[in-house]
Structure 1
Amino acid sequence: MGRGGSRRRSGRVWLCVAAAALALAGVLALTLRLTVGRRRSEADFQATFTGRCEQFSGGSRRHDCPKIWSAFEQAYVGRQPCNVSMEAYDALIAAAPAEAQCNSMIFWSKTMDMVHALTEKRDCYMSVEETLLGFVLNGLRWCGKRSSSETFTTGCPEWFECVNNPVRSFWSRVSADFAEQACGDVTVMLNGSIATPFSPERSKVRTCISDTNVTCEYCLLRSQITVHDADSTL
């Protein structure tokens, strides 16, 4: 009995050891998978950034995309995601300032779809999303973490979660630079009706935008858009 009991105890010990080893292996595999996934996400983000930069820089326009990426990273990498101010992007703006197009710059608020429909189909106006930095980062999300050298694309603060989050601060800073570069007459597209924001006229305006036989000014009038000069209060 003594020898049999000892064998049973030994068997249970080995079972416990094997179970612990399997659990540890599972934890290590999960950690490795998460690490690899995060690094792949970071690599994909950088590839998107660089690819868009190179696409924008085609033809006669040439930009140092690796230098711009480096300046971009400096703004948020290693920082808490709610502690990235507008000024953190100063080096990025210096590396890729907005290129002014006098009399064609358009500003918008809560009318993104309409503005982009206008600027994509007509070359009369240029929004901040048509600048190098606006084009590269439009629709992307990113942040850093304290004491980390990585770029994260998940677990980042939402737009209204904190004022100084990386995405919100970037768009505030690049919009300010876009406004500083404005010259001549500028255009502003605003929400003309809170209750039904442009809904009654939306289809008419889209048709107007697609018709190259009419002027941009006529399309703006059809959508009840107010045109201001550079000295107006926006």
Structure 2
Amino acid sequence: MSLFNKPKRKIQARRKMSDEETEDDNVATIGDIKELQRSRGKKNGLTEIECALGKQKAAHLLDGIQIAGGSMAMTEKQKARLEAADIEAGIREQFEKETLLRDEHEELRKYIDNGLAKLKGEDLNSQDDDSNQGDDVLARAASKLKSYRSETATELLSEHMLAGIPEVDLGINARITNILETEKKKKELIEYQLTGKRPAQDPPTKKPRR
């Protein structure tokens, strides 16, 4: 019987040795993990963003921004803040436009009131003007406005007529002649401004018929 018990003792000794080796491996693995965590931990110093912008601006920039996987992603807080800023900027811009428009309307109303007061002959210092004089002023203003409208209509009509006339090719000879005549007239005007005497006019020549 003693012969059969000895091998069992050896097997138990081997199991103890294997258990101790496993514990040593686990301790080494835990030590490696702790060392890796310490190497990944935040060290004292400044980040790239803090070096570029400063600590305060970097903290304000990174507020509400998540950094994961080497990329930056905005959180819901930052998105809501940006949307609120856009809405506030839009409201401010619309308010400024309406304020400017209201000021323009007010200035236009004052200008119209002053113009009507001048046309009616009303003076802030004297309120006892004759009504007939005001009617005369209005009549003169109406006639001036009518003449101005007629002149404007005539100018617009002439512009439309000129725009509707097709361009005719006069040829190279006619263009050269026009250029020479223009330069001659310029020279005559310069001489007249310098001397005060008009140059002698050349007798009119008949143009050859084509």
Q: TM-score, normalised by structure 2?
A: 0.29
Structure scoring higher RCO (CA < 8 A, sep ≥ 6) equals 1
Q: TM-score, normalised by structure 1?
A: 0.27
Q: Which is higher, the Rg of structure 1 or of structure 2?
A: 2
The structure where helix makes up a greater share of residues is 2
